[in-house]
Structure 1
């Protein structure tokens, strides 16, 4: 259950001026003309898929239609009066849609899909770890892990281009995703700089805001944090308090870590020794508002020296311009063509942005 007490992220460089949203739809005509119908179509698509996601729920389609109608009505009102809904952003509209679904008794509509994809991904976990462990060179090992992490982020049912691929291609996995995304050099490619930093000294503690279930978490995130753990870094994985699309929830995370520790001694030892923990972040949508974090997470953040924001929702739609007191990685595949072009990139371009902690003058 989500806690009421929310705190602003202690790692933000300037808490007073922080704004989560990268695009303010209220003051961007091109953006609002694109995103209103785009988000409405995303919500509508859920209606056609809901019976497959909830096969034993005879009222699922009816309730999904009701929820979509509420979202549609809001979009229509905003078209005529954008000032009606403030702040008007991709984040707040997605949160409204998720809240509407919860009010229509969809506690976790994507649960079966997440379970299916995560089970399939765990069947490939050992092979992925063996592949990584076979690479002796420090640089090449971390390059492979980074490629796997960003490629895993492709598995996002909230992105139409990806949903179409996943529905049409049964055999689409991490290997295919690594071929689908932009090849290096990436659109924003700080990987070399980050690996050089990593080679200088290990981080004490990393806090990672995770994204999607399935391939993203199991074959992207877990191998990445496993290597951090092997290098002496404590890791805090943080997931949504409430369900949103196929994102990992805190309840999911606890279950996935129990499965992972049965398959991996590095993960198991880290959990036993309290070097790897899973915790909720207080969020209820697929984006990230760092002004509203769970208090326990903020306590854990106090001793962190690395922050990782994974996925378009957490690192592009929100927080792309946010600055932090510690080293920060912002990782995402640009799965939306309009957004990619708006940033000067192409669809499936990769952002691997490394922002070092600012130097403190004495």
Structure 2
């Protein structure tokens, strides 16, 4: 993990002026109504997941209900509170972190733990076939495009996203191939793929940092093929994960286990992991949103490429309708 207590991600131009959130819900009435509605509905699913995660405990159902009631009451208070211009912004991150704190308050530190384990194991079984398929793509542009599309498709598997959770609940067999079919045709809303393809024809980056997101298909079938391709270019990779559990996001400890399992399936990753070319790093976060002010600097001093793969909770805007 990070070896320095000094805080603040080193690539930030100005730590003092950095704001981790792009939207203040107190300044956008329509957005506030939308997001409070989303979380008011999502908490019902979180309640079920919390109770399910401790089904052998007779108190689990009652504590899960208390969690929901507590969280919904906090939402009501935040929504009705008088707005002072000097107050801290009310953001989506605020609501997500409140959810995590509320779960922990009622004894649910990691409600998705068992589900994450099962999804990681299932995805690892499919990794060799995914890597073999990518190795059969001879054209470098086509290969990188397939890798990036795999990252986008893998990032769908986020149980904190309302639109995505509805898809996953309705279709237990929904996997990477199905997710790939849901990706919109290019150009995407934010589309820098051509610039990326051109850059990949140039010299390799010396060190890349990848901030991971979800367990299962996302990390194993989306991110690890990307990691392998960077390693093949002789780029050192820092693979970062949350220090503490949050939703179905993979944690530092879980990521270590996944990569160790992957070593038996991929010699490139195996050699890099044991030589130090691939390092697993805790990002000092205990919620589902990154705040670069809180990241220890130690492991990140010499990076020249940073990759963020984050799912916006309104991901339905980027999805095609089911075929």
Q: TM-score range by the shorter chain?
A: over 0.9
CA distance in structure 2 between the aligned counterparts of 1:28 and 1:278, rounded to whole angstroms: 38
- How much is the aligned-residue C-alpha RMSD, in angstroms? 2.1
1:308 aligns to 2:307 (yes or no): yes
How far the C-alpha of 1:107 sits from its partner, in A, is 2.0
1:354 aligned residue? none
1:192 to 168, 191, 194: 194
**Superimposed CA distance per residue, residues 23-73 of structure 1 (whole angstroms, 9 cap, x where no aligned partner):** 111211111111112112212221123333333333222222212222111
Q: Is the 8 A contact 1:2 1:241 kept in 2?
A: no
2:148 to 137, 146, 149: 146
CA distance in structure 1 between the aligned counterparts of 2:42 and 2:7, rounded to whole angstroms: 31
Deviates more, 1:45-54 or 1:234-243: 45-54
1:44-63 alignment, distance < 5 Å: 44-63=44-63
CA distance in structure 2 between the aligned counterparts of 1:129 and 1:57, rounded to whole angstroms: 41
CA distance in structure 2 between the aligned counterparts of 1:176 and 1:153, rounded to whole angstroms: 13
CA distance in structure 1 between the aligned counterparts of 2:19 and 2:51, rounded to whole angstroms: 37
2:77 aligned residue? 77
CA distance in structure 2 between the aligned counterparts of 1:153 and 1:169, rounded to whole angstroms: 17
1:257 aligns to 2:236 (yes or no): no
How far the C-alpha of 1:221 sits from its partner, in A, is 0.3
Structure 2: gaps of 5 or more residues? none
Deviates more, 1:58-67 or 1:97-106: 58-67
1:201 aligned residue? 203
Q: Is the 8 A contact 1:2 1:242 kept in 2?
A: no
Q: Normalised by the size of structure 1, how large is the TM-score?
A: 0.83
CA distance in structure 1 between the aligned counterparts of 2:3 and 2:249, rounded to whole angstroms: 19
SS at match of 2:16: coil
2:178 aligned residue? 176
How far the C-alpha of 1:5 sits from its partner, in A, is 4.8
1:198–1:2 Cα change, 3 Å:
closer
Q: Is the 8 A contact 2:2 2:299 kept in 1?
A: no
1:107–1:205 Cα change, 3 Å:
same
1:37 aligned residue? 37
1:1-362 alignment, distance < 5 Å: 5=5, 7-83=7-83, 86-293=88-295, 295=296, 298-312=297-311, 335=315, 337=316, 346-348=317-319
CA distance in structure 1 between the aligned counterparts of 2:136 and 2:128, rounded to whole angstroms: 12
How far the C-alpha of 1:4 sits from its partner, in A, is 11
Q: Is the 8 A contact 2:38 2:162 kept in 1?
A: no
CA distance in structure 2 between the aligned counterparts of 1:57 and 1:143, rounded to whole angstroms: 47
1:133–1:255 Cα change, 3 Å:
same
How far the C-alpha of 1:102 sits from its partner, in A, is 1.3
Q: Normalised by the size of structure 2, how large is the TM-score?
A: 0.93
1:34–1:142 Cα change, 3 Å:
same
Q: Is the 8 A contact 2:120 2:220 kept in 1?
A: yes
CA distance in structure 2 between the aligned counterparts of 1:57 and 1:200, rounded to whole angstroms: 56
Q: Is the 8 A contact 2:210 2:240 kept in 1?
A: yes
Q: Is the 8 A contact 2:281 2:299 kept in 1?
A: no
Higher relative contact order (CA 8 A, sep 6+): 2
Q: How many residues align?
A: 318
SS at match of 1:171: coil
How far the C-alpha of 1:134 sits from its partner, in A, is 0.8
How far the C-alpha of 1:347 sits from its partner, in A, is 3.9
